[in-house]
């Protein structure tokens, strides 16, 4: 029986969903949403805060500030509440309303950026806002999840070894790319092991992370408008870009099976399905994909029919998505440095 005194002390590590029956593919989905922050970001938040405390950069007089599309903001709010820190989360207008309310309910502040930068989009605008806060008061401490190595170290120490423990014969690992903390931590770990594991990054169409053209993205979580400093493509074997329409389709398919997952999970599942169909058709491989969060915070977006229809058209028909990207044009290919 787990007994804890702080919310960051608990996370379910050994829960997987077998998607073979639902999708007809050999894929196990590692569920990372069962903790008090509701996502895998609790690991990174705890790792970065603990490192900042050890270094002396973070004290009780400090004010934490971070740019987040949502999940890390919730995770930092959970830990800030438990430890008594003041926290300001800088989000943008795409961040789910439910996520913003959770952050505020935990006692943290939400500052919303409403206009994207001409170059770098909403992420660049959020980072500029954070830098302005830092310049205004020396008490502000920025963990900077996009460049902080304690982000990927959290997954090197926990997520990857737990996957190896459950799947010692692992052949393929699919990981969504946002800050690339989860991707880099797991990829670094498995590249050091004697058994080869193919690591496939899953990104959103419109993200610049792997050198693709910038485009409008409405589902928070995966993808960036500014290439993350943490990314080292030498550890990644392949990349799949998933249009948001396919993300929504995957989320709805999972929900019809009784599994309500978040947008990032829909992207990863869609990308893994496509990659396996193209590269391992009909083969019985040992493959795992990481599901970063659950779906309750997406009820007003991914699971709201009018929101989906306004942005992506009729996903049951042959419509293209709202940004001119054909839903069947999912790009898979070599990494671009």
CA distance 30 to 1: 22
CA distance 63 to 80: 10
Classified as helix, coil or strand, 37 is: coil
Task: Give the per-residue pLDDT at 317.
Answer: 52
Is the pLDDT at 282 greater than 70, yes or no? yes
Is the pLDDT at 167 greater than 90, yes or no? yes
Task: Give the per-residue pLDDT at 220.
Answer: 87
Q: Report the range of poorest mean pLDDT among 128-132, 203-207, 213-217, 312-316.
A: 312-316
- For residues 240 and 204, the answer to whether their CB atoms sit within 8 Å is no
Helices 263-279/244-256 angle, 10° precision: 100
Query: What's the chain's average pLDDT?
Result: 92
Within 10 Å of residue 320's Cβ, how many Cβ atoms? 15
Mean pLDDT for 239-267 is 97
Is the pLDDT at 331 greater than 80, yes or no? no
Nearest to 220 by CA among 298, 291, 296, 155: 298
Classified as helix, coil or strand, 30 is: strand
Q: Which 3-state string (H, E, C) describes 49-116?
A: HHHHHHHCCCCCCCEEEEECCCHHHHHHHHHHHHHCCEEEEEEECCCCHHHHHHHHHCCCEEEEECCC
- Domain made up of 7-31+158-333: CATH architecture: 3-Layer(aba) Sandwich (3.40)
Within 10 Å of residue 60's Cβ, how many Cβ atoms? 8
Mean pLDDT for 250-274 is 97
Cα of 186 vs its chain's centroid, Å: 14
Within 10 Å of residue 3's Cβ, how many Cβ atoms? 6
What one-character-per-residue DSSP string does 163-205 give?
HHHH-TT--EEEEE-SSSHHHHHHHHHHHTSSS--EEEEEEET
78-68-121 Cα angle (round to 5): 170
With bands split at pLDDT 50, 70 and 90, how would you rate the model's confidence at 96?
confident
Largest CA distance in the chain: 58
Task: Give the per-residue pLDDT at 329.
Answer: 36
Please state, for a pLDDT cut of 90, what percent of the chain lies above it.
83
Is the pLDDT at 12 greater than 90, yes or no? yes
Task: Give the per-residue pLDDT at 164.
Answer: 98
**319 or 11: whose pLDDT is higher?**
11
Classified as helix, coil or strand, 130 is: helix
- Domain made up of 41-142: CATH architecture: 3-Layer(aba) Sandwich (3.40)
Please list the residue range(s) of the chain that carry CATH number 3.40.50.1100. Answer: 7-31+158-333, 41-142
With bands split at pLDDT 50, 70 and 90, how would you rate the model's confidence at 119?
confident
| 22-73 confidence digits (pLDDT tens) | 999 999 999 999 999 999 999 999 999 999 999 999 999 999 999 998 899 9
Task: Give the per-residue pLDDT at 308.
Answer: 96
Structure tokens at 209: 């992370």
Residues 6+ apart with CB under 8 A from 313: 245, 319, 320, 321, 322
CA distance 105 to 87: 12
Mean pLDDT for 157-165 is 98
Classified as helix, coil or strand, 259 is: coil
CA distance 291 to 275: 17
Task: Give the per-residue pLDDT at 318.
Answer: 40
Mean pLDDT for 205-223 is 92
Mean pLDDT for 73-80 is 98
- For residues 55 and 61, the answer to whether their CB atoms sit within 8 Å is no
Cβ-count burial 212-231 (b if 16+ within 10 Å, e if not):
beebbbbbbbbbbbbebebb
Strands (E), 189-286: 198-204, 238-242
Task: Give the per-residue pLDDT at 333.
Answer: 43
Mean pLDDT for 305-330 is 62
Tell me the CA end-to-end span of the chain in Å, nearest whole number: 47
Nearest to 35 by CA among 72, 2, 69, 9: 9
**210 or 333: whose pLDDT is higher?**
210
């Amino acid at each position: 029986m787990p007994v804890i005194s702080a919310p960051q002390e608990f996370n379910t590590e050994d829960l997987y969903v077998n998607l073979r029956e639902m999708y007809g593919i050999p894929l196990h989905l590692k569920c990372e949403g069962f903790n008090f922050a509701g996502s895998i970001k609790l690991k990174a938040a705890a790792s970065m805060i603990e490192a900042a405390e050890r270094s002396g950069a973070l004290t009780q007089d400090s004010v934490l500030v971070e740019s987040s599309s949502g999940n890390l903001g919730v995770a930092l709010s959970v830990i800030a509440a438990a430890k008594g820190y003041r926290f300001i989360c800088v989000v943008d207008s795409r961040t789910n309303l439910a996520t913003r309310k959770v952050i505020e309910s935990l006692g943290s502040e939400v500052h919303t950026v409403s206009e994207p930068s001409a170059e770098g989009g909403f992420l660049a605008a959020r980072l500029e806002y954070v830098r302005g806060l830092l310049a205004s008061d020396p008490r502000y401490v920025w963990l900077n999840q996009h460049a902080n190595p304690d982000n990927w170290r959290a997954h090197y120490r926990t997520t990857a070894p737990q996957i190896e423990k459950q799947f010692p014969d692992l052949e393929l690992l699919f990981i969504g790319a946002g800050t690339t903390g989860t991707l880099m931590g797991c990829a670094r770990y498995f590249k050091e092991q004697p058994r080869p594991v193919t690591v496939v990054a899953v990104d959103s169409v419109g993200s610049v992370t792997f050198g693709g053209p910038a485009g409008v993205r409405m589902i928070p979580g995966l993808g960036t408008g500014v290439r993350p400093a943490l990314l080292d493509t030498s550890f990644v074997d392949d990349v799949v870009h998933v249009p948001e329409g396919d993300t929504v389709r995957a989320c709805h398919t999972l929900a019809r099976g009784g599994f309500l997952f978040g947008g990032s999970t829909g992207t990863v599942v869609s990308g893994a399905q496509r990659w396996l169909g193209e590269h391992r058709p009909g083969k019985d491989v040992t493959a795992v994909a990481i599901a970063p969060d659950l779906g309750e915070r997406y009820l007003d977006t991914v699971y709201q029919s009018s929101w989906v229809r306004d942005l992506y058209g009729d996903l049951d028909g042959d419509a293209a998505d709202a940004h001119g990207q054909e839903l069947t044009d999912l790009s898979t290919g070599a990494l671009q440095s």
